Amino acid sequence: MPLALLALAVGAFGIGTTEFVMMGLLPDVADDLHISIPSAGHLVSAYALGVVLGAPLLAAVTARLSRRTVLIALMVLFVAGNALSAFAPDHRWLLAARFLSGLPHGAFFGVGAVVATTLVAPERKARSVSLMFLGLTVANIAGVPAATLMGQHLGWRATFLGVSAIGLAAIAALAALIPHDHAHAPTTGLRGELAALRSLPVWLALGTTVAGFGALFSAYSYITPMLTDAAGYADSSVTLLLALFGVGATIGNLLGGRLADHAMRGTLFAGLASLAAVLALFPLLMSAPWSAALAVTLLGVASFVTGSPLQLMVMEKASTAPSLASSANQAAFNLANAGGAWIGGLTLAAGLGVTSPAVAGAALAVLGLAVAGVAFAVDRRRSPDRPSRALIVATNEPRRSQSLSH
């Protein structure tokens, strides 16, 4: 696999770290800025809003630019947002800085996924995407705990300076390793990219992402009370158990990338079915500490097995204009985060029990299976002669030499 994928993974590591670290720093930020914890929680929402708005917007306005240039520019924006966060004088400035930090998130993963697939042979496309996403899953194992520890000992502002340093390293890696001859803009330009979003299969693919990852966040948003109230863990043990989720997510991400190169549709369906099964078993698995730890790990594996197939599915349905659709998939992921947490919260508010969000998540995973099935059926009906596993990305782009595919 090309070293250029390492540059994409470094960028993903930085983005994953800054996205999730705020949750661990909320008390420190609240104390320093003299605001309440709920008010500090708006900083998480501001970042997510930046992702949802920035993903399609930045992908659209940069449609005619070199993808290498776009990736570097997005990481420059990422560094600026985190540096401004470190020096924000008050809550309002920090809100604006967090929103700015979220803007490049979706577009970076969207454009990066397209670039990753052009760097390798056709039979390794899913694996290349999974290696880029590896930076995101590793961030949950190493980046977020280390950044949180830094914030607790050196102050939360030091955390964002550290994340800015990761962004600078990513810029250097992108400039050095992403080849110029594989960064050309698609000939379709903005009009072609927007046209891809008028396709029903593309919207069905995005709907699969919302339902599939909504299933994850319906349960994961309330994993702490499940572990403490149902499984009997102490609050101090939750951090270690969440690290198990990160390990499972990393395993699932790598496994999904490898399997999807052989059977993208089968991997997607099997992943969603496995996710539904794991979530349906949560009430039983949360009855004992050892099985609860197993459940958290399996949740990470089952949910992230679908990551690469879902990204490739959206790019496939978008045909020759994948950048905007690929970035929109990242917006769909964040909508799944918000929507899944909301649905899980409804079950708790209804008094259905502490593990009820997981059961709701199982239903969402089944819905994702149904939507994916409809998406493939519609696509097959429209293009009966099109190979089912074909991933067509910017067909007029030059291909990398065969030596770099091995």
The pLDDT value given to residue 192: 65
Tokens standing for residue 83: 């540096």
Domain termination residue (choose one: 121, 156, 185): 185
Decide if 25 contacts 15 (C-beta within 8 A): no
Is 405 a domain residue? no
- Structural domain count of the chain: 2
- Residue 295 in 3-state DSSP? helix
| Low pLDDT (below 50) residues in the chain | 182-187, 384-406
User: Which stretch of DSSP H or E encloses residue 108?
Assistant: helix 91-118
Kindly state whether residues 347 and 387 are assigned to the same domain. yes
Kindly state whether residues 333 and 343 are assigned to the same domain. yes
Decide if 261 contacts 124 (C-beta within 8 A): yes
Q: How far apart are CA 311 and CA 326, in angstroms?
A: 7
DSSP 180: G
Reported as a single tens digit per residue, the pLDDT across 103-118 is 999 889 888 888 888 8
Decide if 394 contacts 179 (C-beta within 8 A): no
Tokens standing for residue 388: 């089912």
Kindly state whether residues 55 and 125 are assigned to the same domain. yes
Is 403 a domain residue? no
Decide if 173 contacts 6 (C-beta within 8 A): yes
Alpha carbon 22 to its chain centroid, in Å, reads 16
Q: How far apart are CA 168 and CA 174, in angstroms?
A: 10
Tokens standing for residue 362: 């199982």
CA distances from 9 to 81, 156, 183 (A): 19, 24, 17
The pLDDT value given to residue 160: 94
Is 296 a domain residue? yes
Q: Domain containing 300: what range?
A: 187-397
Nearest to 304 by CA among 354, 356, 258: 258
Q: How far apart are CA 135 and CA 139, in angstroms?
A: 6
CATH code for position 218: 1.20.1250.20
Is 20 a domain residue? yes
Reported as a single tens digit per residue, the pLDDT across 73-83 is 999 999 999 99
Kindly state whether residues 171 and 130 are assigned to the same domain. yes
The pLDDT value given to residue 393: 41
Q: What is the pTM of this model?
A: 0.78
Kindly state whether residues 232 and 271 are assigned to the same domain. yes
Tokens standing for residue 19: 């996205």
Tokens standing for residue 318: 């978008």
Tokens standing for residue 280: 């349906």
The pLDDT value given to residue 181: 56
